[in-house]
Amino acid sequence: MSKRGILLSTSDIRRDAVLDAAIVEFAKSGYHGTPINTVAVAAGISPAYVFKLFPSKVELFVATLDRCFERVEQSLATGAARVPDADPERVLHEMGGAYAELIADKSLLMLQVHALSAADVPDIAGAVRAGLQRVTDYAKTRSGATDAQVQHFMAFGQLCHLITTLGLDGIDGGWAAILTAGIRHPNAH
């Protein structure tokens, strides 16, 4: 098996399988509620091998967050590539659309939500900050937008989290319409 033209070792393949399984499992029950055994079963390997790859649960969660933010950045790049010119607002708009498509599968979204709930763990808080820095820097650099435009983009991203997490699309009532107005969301599942 290869990744970007590089032949992967068995441990690299298993590492990827563990991270993919960890995204799903941590998204379900968070850092505190997910035992390593659950991730191991989902990845189809032994808990001992998970610990060989990731010596602690914190290291596994941090690596999972790194994978999450890598995918977020990739989705932003996909959205930005849809814009033939360099208009910052259009680039940010398409980045936002691509991100909305990404979080329609709630696993990456819920992983981020659970990461915030475990931010009392210093390494997890650091990983969230590093991920947000990565996404903010990419959005700023790739779009050429002003700081205020990027702040608005990131704020709308957090509003997207709220809308998607709580399923506010389609809720009757003025308050939900106010929050969801002008925000595009594919149907979440």
Tens digit of each residue's pLDDT (9 = 90 or more) over 171-182: 877 898 898 887
Residue 133 lies in a domain: yes
User: What pLDDT sits at residue 185?
Assistant: 63
Q: Could you state, in chain order, the average pLDDT of each consecutive group of 10 residues for the chain (189 residues)?
A: 55 90 97 97 95 96 98 97 92 94 91 96 98 97 97 92 85 84 65
**Does the residue 5 lie in any domain?**
no
* Long-range pairs, 112-115, Cβ under 8 A, ≥24: 112/65, 112/68, 112/161, 113/161, 113/165, 114/26, 114/27, 114/29, 114/30, 114/31, 115/31, 115/61, 115/65
Residues spanned by the domain of 121:
62-180
Q: Is residue 24 part of a domain?
A: no
pLDDT at 187: 59
Residue 50 maps to a domain:
no
8, part of any domain: no
Give the predicted TM-score (pTM) of the model: 0.88
- Per residue in 64-81, pLDDT (tens digit) is 999 999 999 999 999 999
Q: Where are the alpha helices (DSSP H) in the chain?
A: 10-33, 36-43, 47-53, 57-81, 88-102, 106-117, 122-143, 147-166, 174-180
Q: Does some domain include residue 21?
A: no
Indicate the DSSP class of residue 56: S
pLDDT for residue 184: 66
DSSP assigned state of 181: T
Average pLDDT, the chain: 90
- Evaluate the CA torsion angle 127, 9, 76, 30 in order and state its sign: negative
Handedness of CA 56, 58, 60, 62 (dihedral sign): negative
Per the structure, the count of domains in the chain is 1
